[in-house]
C-alpha cells in the first residue's frame, strides 16, 4: 500500500464535520479513509477508534485505540487519544485503567 493522498487529513476532518452524516456513516467513512493508510500507520486506528467512540461502540473503540498505541501514535494525536481512551475505559467499567492511562499521559 502506498502513502495516503496529501489531502487525507482534510478528508478525515470533512468526515468528522459533516452535519448530515449519521454515526454509522461517519464510522464507514473513517474506516474507508483508514484503509488508505499503510497497515502500520497509527493514524488510521486512532481516527477509527474515535469514530466508534462517537457511535457508542466503546469496545470497538478501545480495540482501535490500543492498536494505535501499539503502533506508536505520538504527539498531539497521542494526547488526544489518551483522553478519549480513558473516557472509553471508564464507560467500559475499567475506571482503574482509565486513571492509569491519564496518569501515564501526564508524565
Q: Name which CATH class applies to 9-105.
A: mainly alpha
Span 6-12, average pLDDT: 92
Span 9-21, average pLDDT: 95
User: What is the average pLDDT value for the chain, to the nearest integer?
Assistant: 93
Grid coordinates belonging to 89: 475505559
Whole-number pLDDT of residue 99: 95
d(CA 61, CA 58): 5
Of the two residues 54 and 5, the one the predictor is more confident about is 54
User: What is the number of helices (H) and of strands (E) in the chain?
Assistant: 6, 0
Compute the half-sphere exposure of residue 9: CA atoms within 13 Å on the CB side of its CA.
4
Are 68 and 42 spatial neighbours (Cβ–Cβ below 8 Å)? yes
pLDDT higher than threshold 60 for residue 107: yes
Which of 20, 86, 12, 77 lies closest to 51 in space, CA to CA? 12
pTM attached to this predicted model: 0.90
State how far Cα 65 lies from the chain centre. 6
Whole-number pLDDT of residue 87: 96
Task: Note the pLDDT tens digit of each residue in 19-48.
Answer: 999 999 999 999 999 999 999 999 999 999
What residue segments make up the domains of the chain, in order of their start?
Answer: 9-105
Span 55-76, average pLDDT: 96
DSSP state of 19: T
Whole-number pLDDT of residue 5: 75
Amino acid at each position: 500500500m502506498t502513502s495516503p493522498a496529501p489531502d487525507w487529513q482534510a478528508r478525515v476532518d470533512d468526515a468528522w464535520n459533516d452535519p448530515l452524516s449519521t454515526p454509522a456513516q461517519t464510522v464507514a467513512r473513517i474506516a474507508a479513509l483508514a484503509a488508505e493508510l499503510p497497515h502500520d500507520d497509527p493514524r488510521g486506528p486512532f481516527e477509527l477508534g474515535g469514530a466508534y467512540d462517537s457511535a457508542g461502540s466503546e469496545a470497538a473503540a478501545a480495540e482501535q485505540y490500543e492498536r494505535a498505541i501499539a503502533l506508536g501514535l505520538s504527539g498531539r494525536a497521542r494526547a488526544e487519544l489518551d483522553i478519549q481512551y480513558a473516557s472509553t475505559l471508564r464507560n467500559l467499567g475499567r475506571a482503574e485503567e482509565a486513571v492509569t492511562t491519564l496518569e501515564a499521559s501526564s508524565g
